[in-house]
């Protein structure tokens, strides 16, 4: 659920988003996506020259008017010019869930355009800050070899700790949390259905630990539903995850007109004048 930043503000035709004024808010990792996650990501990809495709599947009965055709599935896919990277808006496609939240964006990459399968995929639910997803995609687009691992996992934790996050006391080499212990990032076993080309992801026995990938999430109240979640397959380059982590944990404020109800009381706000 999201709430307007200033519900008593009178509507103004010159103010977008239903008449709500914009505010600078922080911290970013609790600020939600402003209800604009699709637009932020789609605009970023359009600016990078990615091709956008919309595939609509439906059912049309004989003698049925075109406007009455039932749409069963709608897929929005963005593909990079070299066809090595793509992003799919999943909410319209009956997405699977991550942390009991539906996946909004799935981003994938492969080593060669001739390969029919993705080398890795990353998944983002609603309310992941759009700025963090956009920065991740900018880094992905700039990578010459998006499916090759270069740096080690330490790069990810260094990125968040540079912005004041703390390493986990019990697992300092693989996990960190923000100073309010609300948002977390951890290198651990990936959830089911996370797409990865490493064959070990398919042959792990039930009593064996699977491949380790980065997971990030925000839990405003212990035991309550997550605000957002993100999952990265084991084969994703750590430097790309580090870019996401650095943007997510950034102390720079972000513009918002609506806030998640679960965190609006925890956010600092200043009018964007």
Q: Is 64 inside a domain boundary? A: no
Rounded Cα distance between 267 and 24, Å, is 10
The pLDDT of 134-142, averaged and rounded, is: 98
Question: Which domain, by its residues, includes 257?
Answer: 2-6+19-59+70-198+208-271
Tell me the C-alpha distance between 35 and 126, whole Å.
8
How many whole angstroms separate alpha carbon 157 and alpha carbon 160? 5
- How far apart are alpha carbons 194 and 64 in whole angstroms? 40
Domain for residue 105, yes or no? yes
Q: Contact at 8 Å (CB) between 123 and 101?
A: no
Q: Report the candidate in 212, 214, 188 with the shortest Cα–Cα distance to residue 200.
A: 212
Residue 12 inside a domain? The answer is no
- Residue 142 in domain: yes
Residue with tokens 């600092």: 268
Does 11 reside within a domain? no
- Cβ contact 74:55 at 8 Å: yes
Average pLDDT over residues 25-51: 96
pLDDT in tens, 175-189: 999 999 999 999 998
The distance of Cα 124 from the centroid of its chain, to the nearest Å, equals 3
Q: Is the pLDDT of residue 33 over 70?
A: yes
Token duo for residue 108: 């994938």
- What digits encode the pLDDT tens for the residues 218-261? 999 988 899 999 999 999 999 999 999 999 999 999 999 999 99
For residue 227, being part of any structural domain is answered with yes
Number of domains into which the chain is organized: 1
Q: In terms of pLDDT, which residue wins out, 117 or 218?
A: 218
On average, the pLDDT of the chain sits at 85
**Does residue 13 sit within a domain?**
no
Residue 235 DSSP one-character state: T
Tell me whether residue 177 is in a domain: yes
């Amino acid at each position: 659920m999201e709430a307007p930043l200033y519900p008593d503000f009178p509507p103004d035709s010159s103010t977008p988003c239903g008449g709500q004024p914009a505010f600078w808010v922080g911290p970013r990792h609790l600020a939600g996506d402003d209800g604009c996650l699709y637009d932020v990501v789609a605009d970023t990809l359009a600016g990078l020259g990615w091709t956008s495709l919309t595939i609509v599947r439906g059912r049309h009965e004989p003698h049925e008017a075109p406007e009455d055709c039932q749409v069963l599935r709608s897929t929005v896919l963005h593909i990079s010019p070299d066809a090595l990277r793509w992003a799919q808006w999943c909410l319209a496609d009956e997405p699977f869930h991550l942390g009991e939240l539906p996946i909004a964006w799935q981003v994938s990459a492969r080593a060669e355009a001739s390969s029919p399968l993705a080398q890795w995929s990353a998944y983002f639910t609603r309310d992941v800050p759009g700025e963090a997803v956009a920065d991740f995609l900018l880094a992905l687009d700039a990578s010459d070899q998006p499916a090759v691992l270069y740096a080690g996992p330490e790069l990810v934790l260094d990125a968040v700790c540079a912005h004041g996050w703390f390493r986990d006391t019990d697992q300092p080499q693989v996990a960190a949390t923000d100073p309010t212990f609300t948002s977390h990032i951890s290198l651990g076993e990936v959830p089911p259905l996370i797409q990865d080309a490493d064959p070990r992801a398919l042959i792990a026995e039930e009593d064996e630990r699977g491949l380790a990938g980065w997971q990030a999430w925000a839990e405003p109240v212990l035991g309550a539903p997550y605000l957002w979640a993100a999952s990265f397959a084991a084969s994703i380059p750590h430097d790309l995850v580090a870019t996401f982590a650095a943007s997510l944990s950034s102390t720079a404020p972000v513009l918002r007109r609506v806030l998640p109800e679960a965190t609006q009381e925890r956010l600092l706000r200043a009018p964007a004048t």
